[in-house]
Amino acid sequence: MAFATHFVTLTLLALLAWAANAQLSPTFYGTSCPNLQSIVRSVMIQAVNNEPRMGASILRLFFHDCFVNGCDGSILLDDTATFTGEKNAFPNQNSIRGTEVIDMIKTRVEAACNGTVSCADILALAARDGVFLLRGPSWTVPLGRRDARTASQSDANSQIPAPFSPLSTLISMFAAKGLSARDMTALSGGHTVGQARCTNFRTHIYNDTNIDPRFASIRRANCPTMGGDNNLAPLDIQTPNLFGNNYYQNLVSRRGLLHSDQELFNGGSQDALVRSYASNGGLFSNDFAAAMVRMSNISPLTGTNGEIRRNCKNVN
Ligand code: HEM
Ligand SMILES: *[C@@H]1O[C@H](CO)[C@@H](O)[C@H](O)[C@H]1NC(C)=O
Ligand SMILES: *[C@@H]1O[C@H](CO)[C@@H](O)[C@H](O)[C@H]1NC(C)=O
C-alpha cells in the first residue's frame, strides 16, 4: 500500500515535470544534428579567445531573450521598415552585444544541418559555453525551443529589470517569470563578468549611501556627473573576465557597481544568501547552473508553434 502510493506520487511528479518542460530535451537534436554542440563550442572558443567579454555579452543576450515572452530568439530579430524588434528597446539599445557571434554559429549550423536547429537553442547553448569558457560552471541544456515569428519592444522595455530597481521590484520581476528570489540572487551573479556603462551606475556612485566611498571615488574618476555616458567599468572590480563568486564578496564590501547589485546586500532579505555565496563558491556555482536551466525553460515555443528561422535576424 505504502509502496503503491509512493509509486503513484512519483509517477505524477514525473508527469508534472515533463509537462512543465513541454518537449524540451537535452537529446532533441541527437540524430538530426549530432555535431550541434561541438559547432557552438568551437565558435564560442574563438569568440571568447578573441575577446573574453564576449562570454559575458552572450550570457546577457540570453537573459534578455528569455525575459521577453520566453527563450524564443526574439531578441535576435532586426528592425525592418515593417517590423519592430527588441534590439532598440531601452535595455538593449547601444548595450547588447554578440548577435554577430550567434549569426556566425547559425551559418555553421545551417551548413551542417539545414533548417533543423532554432536560433533560440543556439543562444541557450552559446550562453552556457560562454560561462564555462570564463571558468564558470557548466550544465546540460534542454533543447527543442523554436523561434518566435514576433517580437515586442514594449515588453522588452517593461519586463527586463532596470539597474535603478529596488530589491522588491527585482524579486517581483523574476517572480513574474516563475523564478524565486533565490534564483534572482544567484542569476545576478552573472555580473561576475562583463562591463556596464556610466549612464547605468552614475546615480549609484554619486548619490547612494549603500556604497564604499573609496569604491565610489574610484568609479567617479571615469564616470563624470555629466557626459561620458558610454564609459565602461567592470561589473566585478576583482576579476571581470573570470566567472566566480567575487561578485558577492564585492557586495559584502559594498562595491557593487549597479544600484540593483547593491540592493541584494542592503540589510534586507537577500543578505544571508549573499554572504553564503561570498564564502562558498561551490554553492554559488550549483545554484547558478540550476537557475540558468530554470531561466532557459521560460515559455519555450515547441511542437508546431513558431518556426526554425533560416537566418536569426529575420523571420522566414
Ligand atoms: C537582476 C536584474 C538585472 C539588472 C537590473 C541588470 C542590469 C544590467 C545592466 C544595466 C548592465 C550593463 C549594461 C550597459 O551598461 O550597457 C548589465 C550587464 C550585464 N548583465 Fe545584467 N542585469 C540583471 C540581471 C542579469 C542576469 C540574470 C544575467 C545573466 C544571468 C545578467 C548578465 C549580465 C552580463 C553578463 C552583463 C555584462 C554584459 C557585457 O559586458 O556585454 N544580468 N546588466
Ligand atoms: C537549405 O534549405 C533551403 C530550403 O529548405 C534551401 O533554400 C537552402 O538553399 C538550403 N541551404 C543550404 C546551405 O543547403
Ligand atoms: C543626485 O541627487 C541630486 C538631488 O536629488 C540631483 O540633483 C542630482 O542630479 C543627482 N546626481 C546624480 C549624478 O544622479
Atom of ligand 1 nearest to the CA of 59: 35
Which pLDDT value is given to residue 12? 43
Give pLDDT tens digits for 162-173. Answer: 999 999 999 999
Distance of CA 130 to CAs 39, 47, 97, 136, 281, Å? 14, 9, 13, 9, 18
Question: 98 pLDDT exceeds 90?
Answer: yes
pTM above 0.85, yes or no: yes
Asked if 51 and 138 sit in the same domain, the reply is: yes
Asked if 95 and 172 sit in the same domain, the reply is: no
Question: 88 pLDDT exceeds 70?
Answer: yes
Mean pLDDT of the chain: 94
The whole domain housing 57 covers 28-160
Which pLDDT value is given to residue 22? 59
Q: Is residue 17 part of a domain?
A: no
Confidence of residue 21 (pLDDT cuts 50, 70, 90): low
Protein residue closest via CA to atom 4 of ligand 3: 207
Which pLDDT value is given to residue 81? 95
DSSP H helices, the chain, are: 2-20, 36-50, 53-66, 99-112, 119-133, 153-159, 167-175, 181-187, 198-207, 213-220, 246-252, 259-262, 271-279, 281-296
Determine the Cα angle at 119 with ends 149 and 285, to 5°. Answer: 125
Give pLDDT tens digits for 199-235. Answer: 999 999 999 999 999 999 999 999 999 999 999 999 9
Which pLDDT value is given to residue 97? 98
Q: Is residue 119 part of a domain?
A: yes
Question: 7 pLDDT exceeds 60?
Answer: no
Question: 16 pLDDT exceeds 90?
Answer: no
Which pLDDT value is given to residue 14? 45
191 is catalytic: no
Report the CATH number at residue 156: 1.10.520.10
Asked if 187 and 276 sit in the same domain, the reply is: yes
Distance of CA 40 to CAs 53, 249, 267, 279, 284, Å? 17, 32, 42, 33, 25
Atom of ligand 1 nearest to the CA of 94: 16
Give pLDDT tens digits for 56-78. Answer: 999 999 999 999 999 999 999 99
Asked if 184 and 269 sit in the same domain, the reply is: yes
Asked if 116 and 174 sit in the same domain, the reply is: no
Does the Cβ of 294 fall within 6 Å of ligand 1? no
Nearest 10 degrees: Cα torsion 248, 252, 253, 257: 50
Asked if 98 and 68 sit in the same domain, the reply is: yes
Question: 15 pLDDT exceeds 90?
Answer: no
Give pLDDT tens digits for 282-316. Answer: 999 999 999 999 999 999 999 999 999 999 999 99
Count of domains for the chain? 2
Asked if 224 and 264 sit in the same domain, the reply is: yes
Does the Cβ of 204 fall within 6 Å of ligand 1? no
Does the Cβ of 60 fall within 6 Å of ligand 1? yes
Question: 13 pLDDT exceeds 70?
Answer: no
Which pLDDT value is given to residue 23? 80
Cα 235 from Cα 239, distance rounded (Å): 9
Average pLDDT over residues 100-108: 98
Distance 284 CA to ligand 3 centre (A): 35
Atom of ligand 2 nearest to the CA of 114: 1
Asked if 85 and 122 sit in the same domain, the reply is: yes
Average pLDDT over residues 122-151: 98
Which pLDDT value is given to residue 75? 98
Distance 257 CA to ligand 1 centre (A): 11
**Which one of 6, 64, 191, 204 is the catalytic residue?**
64
